[in-house]
Amino acid sequence: MKGPRILGVILARGGSKSVPRKNIRPLAGLPLIAYTIREALKCRRITRLVVSTEDPEIADVAKKFGAQVPFLRPAELATDKTPSKDCLQHAVRFVEAEEGRAYDFIVELMCTNPLKTVEDIDAVVDKLVATGAESVIGMARLYDQHPARVKRIVDDRIVDFCVPEPDGAMRQDLQPPAYIRNGSIYAMRRDALMVMDRRYGTKDSRPYVFPDDRTVNIDSEADWHAAEAMMKKREPRPLTGADFWDDFWKKTTLPVLPDPAKSYERCYLDLFERHFRPDPGRTVFEAGCAPGMWLAHFHRRFGYAPYGCDISPRGLALTEENLKLCGAPAKIAACDLFSFKADKPFDVVLSINFIEHFDNPWPVLDRQVELLAPGGTLVLSVPNLTRLNAWLTRPAFLAAHNQAVMNKAFFEDFAARSDLRALFLGYIGGFEPDLVGPERSALLRRGVLKTLRILRGLPGAGRVNAPFFSAFLVGVFRKPS
C-alpha cells in the first residue's frame, strides 16, 4: 500500500516590509528561499513541493532551485493582512484541481528559518502521520523570554506579568519550560485546514521542538544578521555522500592523468606551470582526492609527495591503484577532511571541486587553511554552475552543489578572512558541455547545448572565458610565511 499523499507548500510573498525582498535576498551567498527548497526536496515523504507567490521574480528563483510554481497567487491573497491559512487553502485547491485527486496532509515550510534541515522536516511529517494529530508545529524553547521574565509596569513599578520569577533563577532553570512557535514548519491534516479552517491551535496540535542552534525567525534586519552569523558557524553537512561518489566513479578507467587535449584540463595544467616548480622535498594534499589524477600529476611533474583522503570506497580504491600505476607512492586515508590526521602541514593543498559539496563551506575552508604550511599554496577551484550552466543543468544535479561559493566575491571574502594573498583569481576552461551533468529534457535547452557543443569545437574556443559560461572559477592563494 502506498503512503499518504503529502503536499509541501512554501509561501513567498514579494512585498515583505520589515526586510524588503527577503525571500530572494542572498543570505550567506544563496537566496533565502533556496535553503528551504533544498531541504524540502530531500524529504522522503513529501509527494510534491510547490511555491505560492504573486511575484514573477520569486517564481523564477524558486524554479531555478527545483521547486514547482504551478500558479501565480492572486493579488488579493498577497497583501500584508492576508492570513497564511487562506494562501494555503488556495494552493491546495489549485493543485488538487490540477491533479484531480486530494492530498492527505499539508506541510507549510516557512522561508524565515533557513536553518531547518531535512531531518526536521522528516521528523515533523513522521509525527503527524504516526499520531494522526490534526497538526504538528515547529516550536522553540524560550529562555530570556520565559513568562517569568515578562513584566508589567504598574504605577512606575515592575511587577510580574503572570508567572512569579524566583530570585536568582538561571534562565535555563525557569519552570515550567515555555515554548513558542518558531516560524519554521506547520504540518496539518487536510481536513484540519480545509474543513476545520485551522492552520494550528486545534485540540490535537502536537509540538516538534527544534534544537536551539536551528532556530531563527527572520523578521528584521537584526534577525537577518543573526541568521547569517549562525549559518557560517553551523557544522558543515555534505550535500553528497559515499554512495553518490561510488556511483560517480563507477565508469572510471585507469590510469587517469590530465589530458592536454581537453581544454579545461589544459587550463589547469597551464595554471599549475605558472605557480609551481619541481621540488622533490615538497608535499601536496588533496581532500576528496579520487581518482588521484591531480595527485599523480603533481608527483610526476613536480616531484611532490602526495597525500589525500576520501570517503568513497570506490574512489579510494581507484586513487590507490591510479597512483600505483603512475609510480606515485602516496598516503591516502579513508576518512573525511575533519578526521584526517597530518603529522605536519603541507606545502600545497588542492581543493578542486570540493567545497561546493557542503552546505556550509566555511569550516571546510578553515580546515584546509589549517593543513597548509606557512608560505604554502592553496589551489581552490569550483565548477561554475551559475548563469548559463545552471540553466542547462537539472535541478537534482544542482542540488548536490552549493552555488553560493561560485562567485569571485566569495573567494575574495575567504582570502581576506584567512589572510591569504591571491596569486590568481579568475575563470578558466571556456564553455564545457560535459560540466553541466544530465541535460534537461526541454527541447530548447537541448538545442542550445547542441549548438554550444559545435561552437566549443572551434579553435581557441576553450580559452575564451567569462562568468556567464566558463567551466570553472579558480583561485591560487599564498599563506604568509
Q: Which domains does the chain have, with CATH numbers?
A: 6-142+178-232 (3.90.550.10), 242-478 (3.40.50.150)
Contact status, residue 68 vs residue 59, Cβ threshold 8 Å: no
Which amino acid belongs to residue 182? N
- Give the integer Cα–Cα distance in Å for 183 and 109: 9
Between 142 and 264, name the one with better pLDDT.
Answer: 142
Between 399 and 96, name the one with better pLDDT.
Answer: 96
Binning pLDDT at 50, 70 and 90, where does residue 444 land?
Answer: low
Query: What is the predicted pLDDT for the residue at 454?
Result: 64
Contact status, residue 456 vs residue 430, Cβ threshold 8 Å: yes
- Give the integer Cα–Cα distance in Å for 88 and 128: 18
Query: What is the predicted pLDDT for the residue at 219?
Result: 92
Query: What is the predicted pLDDT for the residue at 442?
Result: 58
Query: What is the predicted pLDDT for the residue at 36?
Result: 95
Query: What is the predicted pLDDT for the residue at 1?
Result: 47
Query: What is the predicted pLDDT for the residue at 431?
Result: 83
Nearest to 303 by CA among 287, 282, 289: 282
Residues 6+ apart with CB under 8 A from 191: 134
Pairing of strands 372-383, 421-428: unpaired
The pTM assigned to this predicted structure is 0.70
Query: What is the predicted pLDDT for the residue at 165?
Result: 80
Nearest to 42 by CA among 127, 132, 125: 125
Question: Each residue of 372-381: b (16+ CB within 10 Å) or e?
Answer: bbeebbbbbb
DSSP structure class, residue 74: P
**What mean pLDDT do residues 216-240 have?**
89
DSSP structure class, residue 130: H
**CB-based burial label for 240 (10 Å; 0-12, 13-18, 19+):** middle
Lowest mean pLDDT among 132-136, 211-215, 477-481: 211-215
